[in-house]
Amino acid sequence: SQQGEEDPQALSIQEGENATMNCSYKTSINNLQWYRQNSGRGLVHLILIRSNEREKHSGRLRVTLDTSKKSSSLLITASRAADTASYFCATGSSGGYQKVTFGTGTKLQVIP
Amino acid sequence: DAGITQSPRHKVTETGTPVTLRCHQTENHRYMYWYRQDPGHGLRLIHYSYGVKDTDKGEVSDGYSVSRSKTEDFLLTLESATSSQTSVYFCAISAGSEAFFGQGTRLTVV
């Protein structure tokens, strides 16, 4: 069963613009993570936000978490062609990483 | 890719044949995982291991078995491959709340 649902499924923007992806989930969580997957590669961990945090930054990434709405957003500022990838949210509950559930992803295309 | 190697990277096999995928890590992590990735489903956990000879089932374990005889190696076996097992398979290791993934094995069952 899937916990996270990303929105939109696909996003195409011009280089330099900001990209926003959203994730909604169904049950209570301990943390929420975002991963990036380049075509033909494995997932790469980007950022983790805990359930008691509301916002977190890492470089050009900004993640927000609204536990009352069971949603999170990932903002990539000043996008680059190299940001072209699929982005997945993954929700974790207590009980170890085997409890982490992945969403279906947002495919981002950044046009140079 | 955090010292994780999957082999083979690509495989085509016939329905009904056994297939074994290998995941090798050089990080000495206790936890290892096998996922499959299919369009519209994201990543789904097949099996995981929490130590040598210690394994447990994930969300989509039917038709799969695993073994872990050494810390560094986690094997995924399809006893009798079916077309529904055509997928991309990823191995991962975890350190705390973060996971590191291998590059994947694309398996096609014809």
Chain segment A14-28, per-residue pLDDT in tens: 999 999 999 999 988
Q: Are the Cβ atoms of B42 and A1 closer than 8 angstroms?
A: no
* A97 contacts: CB under 8 Å, gap ≥ 6: B31, B33, B94, B97, B99
**For residues A104 and B34, which has the higher predicted lDDT (pLDDT)?**
B34
Chain segment B43-71, per-residue pLDDT in tens: 999 999 999 999 999 999 999 999 999 99
The tokens describing A34, both together, are: 């975002």
Residue A73 φ then ψ, to 5° = -130, 150
B50: left (phi over 0), alpha (psi -120 to 50) or beta: alpha
Q: Are the Cβ atoms of A98 and B42 closer than 8 angstroms?
A: no
Chain segment A23-49, per-residue pLDDT in tens: 999 988 999 999 999 998 899 999 999
Among A90, A106, A103, which Cα is nearest to A29's? A90
The pLDDT score that the predictor gives to residue A17 is 98
Over residues B80-101, the mean pLDDT reads: 92
Q: Which residue of A has its CA nearest to B58?
A: A98
The pLDDT score that the predictor gives to residue A3 is 65
Dihedral angle at the C-alpha atoms of A42, A36, A38, B58, nearest 10 degrees? 30
Chain A positions touching B48 (Cβ under 8 A) are: 98
